[in-house]
Structure 1
Amino acid sequence: MARGVLSFPLTAFHDDGSLDPDGFRAHAADQLAAGPGALFPACGTGEFFSLDEDEYRTVVTVAVEEAARAVPPGAGAAPGARVPVVAGTGYGWAQAARFARIAEEAGADALLVLPHYLVDAPEDGLAAQLERLAARTRLPLIAYQRGQVAYGVDALRRIARVPGVIGLKDGHSDLDRLQRLTLAAPDGFLFFNGAATAEIQARAYAAVGVPAYSSAVHAFAPEIAGAFRTALRADDHATTDALLRGFYVPFVELRDRAPGYAVSLVKAAARLRGRRVGPVRAPLTDPAPADLAALKALLTAGLDLVGASL
């Protein structure tokens, strides 16, 4: 997963809100063609929260099938190697285990455990939730701390001892806390930058030992996401700064105009590029006309920066 940007594909829907498997297949293939380090279907950007179990099975199955056809990034890949598929799961541990079983059957390689629903919980409870889920699946688990889920050092050490728990994705952007967690973790435990529009904070996360990050931008503009990743790894500050100023910071400002735009704008941008992903599902809403026009202008400017076109 360190070889490229982590892709979180969009789940495609028809205009009536029903699942569009063919649209998702085309989108997943497009994402894989850009050489991501891993594919994370049915996660936050993929509207996991709106999928029923049958739809989830279809999405993960299609992702696995397309990953099997794609060539993994980096030279010298072993025969039969493919881009890892890490499916989302969530809610309480009992329901998460049902999704985990479906992901296993579909051939996923691991699971990203999304924050649970509604209630705040103590750290002991958060750790116990992962322990119960890990006991019910053969798939490796990556915990996702965001919203009401946050692990302290003691809880991190506890979950790191759980067989099958291999990493933590962070969406809080509390770098002091995150540094303490990375120092407390055992060797080989994985950490990911899961901040919204993670490129904005990629350099800061890398400074505390977390260089891997997810990219929502990859879902609609892999050219921009790839150019940023290449410049970041080469310490090309002129290019990273140009992309941050000219695209990423204005994108975040637009994203912050309305709740849910972290997904809605991404899906709208994919549609602007001719991708068959359809609308978002309620309770999310598609961007207002003025915001859509601003998004189109911004997307054009970002693609111009990397020598690509809309």
Structure 2
Amino acid sequence: MCGIVGLFLKDKSLEPKLGEMLSQMLEVMTDRGPDSAGFAVYGASEPGRVKLTLRAPEGYDFAALKETLGGDAQLTERETHAVLSVPEASVDGVKAKIAAIAPEVTVVGAGASMELYKEVGLPRDVAGRFKLAQMSGSHGIGHTRMATESAVTTNGAHPFSTGDDQCLVHNGSLSNHRGVRRELERQGVTVKTDNDSEVAAGYLTWRMREGRSLGEALEDSLDDLDGFYTFVVGTETGFGVLRDPIACKPAVMAETDEYVAFGSEYRALAGLPGIENARVWEPEPAKVYFWDRAAA
């Protein structure tokens, strides 16, 4: 049992409050997942630059790593994580250098606008450590985890990202993830953990690399991913939701002129502004829901 939240803002005047609203939604889902939590926020981007979200052991000296890397890098530290902004042309070189000189550092996400944070602990504490309530942006997704099939670790926490500005949170279990993992390896998509949710994220990355849109990739997953699941996915400009054909995992959505919101339970949405006037519904099984700022 896990909790999922997502918020996509249609009204740009609400962007400074994105983190505050998402933080409240995440905390409400604590009893669905008290062992770890994580979130991704899509905020401001800078042309020609890429944000690398790094994770390292407690007390790691990110500033020293930045100095060792050299070049035109900008660093923002947040507890066990840091966002390293680098020129787009140098991304591959920076990643390779980090892997070579700092194997204890993990690149958990990359993209023009995405920042991704996750840790072991109560959702309220995780959100507080990384100052989620102070973050702004256009959309974000979050997850609270109750580990039932694996250890409680940061590696097992969501979201998972296997592509630039793309990440996924998942409630459920995939029965054929080992076979899908082998296919992803053949296709050159790296899955670093044992979590089946990262396999789902990798699957979407693979399909999108083939030229499929996120909506099309989600539709493909209905044929190729077996199990019971709810996916909430973020891209640089969009936000998508998909439930499996049985839809045994709880889910509710709400839409107003200002936002679209998702929660595993309605109480995650109850504190949102204007929720009393929202259209509230349960997403249908095997139906892709997708909102994209680029298409607006």
TM-score interval (norm. to shorter): 0.3 to 0.5
TM-score normalised to the size of structure 2? 0.34
TM-score normalised to the size of structure 1? 0.33
Larger strand proportion, structure 1 or 2?
2
Higher relative contact order (CA 8 A, sep 6+): 2
Larger helix proportion, structure 1 or 2?
1
